[in-house]
Chains A and B, each alone.
Chain A
Amino acid sequence: MAGAHADISKHVKMYMCVFAALFVCTILTVAVSNVHLGHMNNILVALAIASFKATLVATIFMHLKWESSSIIWITLGLCAIGFCLLILLPVITANAFPASTVHSTWG
């Protein structure tokens, strides 16, 4: 039990480091958005920082770093493929959707 406590104490230190990293990254996201890198580059940088933050949350807070069960990785792998397809859908169907789906105003 003492060993388990020591392990958890190590985890707690890591949680605090991740919190600090997430805090800094949030400030960085806002700071970078105010630097004019070009619209597309600004979007890519913001998404890259968000992805890094999401990775920290998933690996440390959600314990994926210590997860050895293959079923989780299979589930997440399929999930990642599905998610990528969803995000790429606008690109794949770039010339397929009718112009009427895009409106700046409805009212």
Chain B
Amino acid sequence: MSSGVLPYTVEPHPVWGLYSGKLGTWLFLASEVMLFGGLFSAYVLLRVGAPEGTWPTGEETEMDWKIGGFNTLMLIISSVTMVMAWASLKMNDFAKARTYLIITVILALAFVALKLSLEYYPHWHHGLKPSTNTFFGLYYLMTGLHAIHILGGVVVMLYFIGPGASLWKTNPEYYTNRIECTGLYWHFVDLVWIFLFPILYLMN
């Protein structure tokens, strides 16, 4: 192993059969499943354990499925643009990949902007805060944590659109692998929302 060079960034590890970044990303995602799994478990426990008639109804929570549904579609489209960015790199079309990454970032920021302006702000303004009841405590925790994950993904994508893009010129395969790992993370974020949408917007 030569000093200063990370091994298996492009070629698969002889034992794992994966390049190191991908293995690391999957292990990280496994820990993320446990993190969100704990919160889903808490939701089920508190939802099922709530005394009859005390869990807020859909009208009381002011959750608008149209906003949630629109946000769901935006995240799904962003997943498609993310995977298309990787596919474009595989076809040696960096310009197209960059465009797809930019669209992904725009959709991600639009998701957070909608969440803040059409949901968090009016909710807060109407006195629906985390301290209001158990539902809103969980709602802010789960969607807030999800939104932080989205912003984390945006930071990574902006890096690869901007300063990190120079890696494409020196080592295109390494760059492509990094975009694949970013994509794995991004699809996971989409996957979490796929479950959050029905339980928060449609089940009250």
- Chain A residues engaging chain B, CB cutoff 8 angstroms: 4-5, 8, 11-12, 15-16, 18-19, 22-23, 26, 29-30, 33, 42-43, 46-47, 49-50, 53-54, 57-58, 61-63, 68-72, 75-76, 78-79, 82-83, 86-87, 89-90, 97, 101-107
Contact of A104 with B51 in the complex, beta carbons under 8 Å: yes
Contact of A72 with B26 in the complex, beta carbons under 8 Å: yes
Also in contact, A79 and B30, with CB within 8 A (given A50-B194, A57-B79): yes
**Which residues of B1-46 are within 8 A (CB) of A?**
12, 16-18, 23, 26-27, 30, 33-34, 37-38, 40-41, 44-46
Cα A22 to Cα B79 with chains together (Å): 11
16 CB contacts below 8 A, A to B, read A26-B69, A29-B197, A46-B198, A46-B202, A47-B195, A61-B183, A69-B18, A71-B26, A75-B27, A82-B34, A83-B34, A86-B37, A87-B41, A90-B49, A104-B50, A107-B132
Contact of B30 with A22 in the complex, beta carbons under 8 Å: no
Contact of B133 with A105 in the complex, beta carbons under 8 Å: yes
Which of chain B's residues have a CB closer than 8 A to the CB of A26?
69, 72-73, 76, 197
Question: Within the complex, what minimum Cβ distance (angstroms) separates B86 from chain A?
Answer: 9
Contact of A23 with B202 in the complex, beta carbons under 8 Å: no
Tell me the dominant secondary structure on chain B's binding face. helix
Cα A107 to Cα B134 with chains together (Å): 10
Which of chain B's residues have a CB closer than 8 A to the CB of A83?
33-34, 37
Contact of A102 with B87 in the complex, beta carbons under 8 Å: no
Q: Other than the known A61-B82, A89-B45, what 10 A-B pairs have Cβ atoms closer than 8 Å?
A: A8-B87, A19-B77, A47-B198, A57-B194, A58-B187, A70-B17, A76-B26, A86-B38, A90-B45, A106-B133
Cα A25 to Cα B67 with chains together (Å): 17
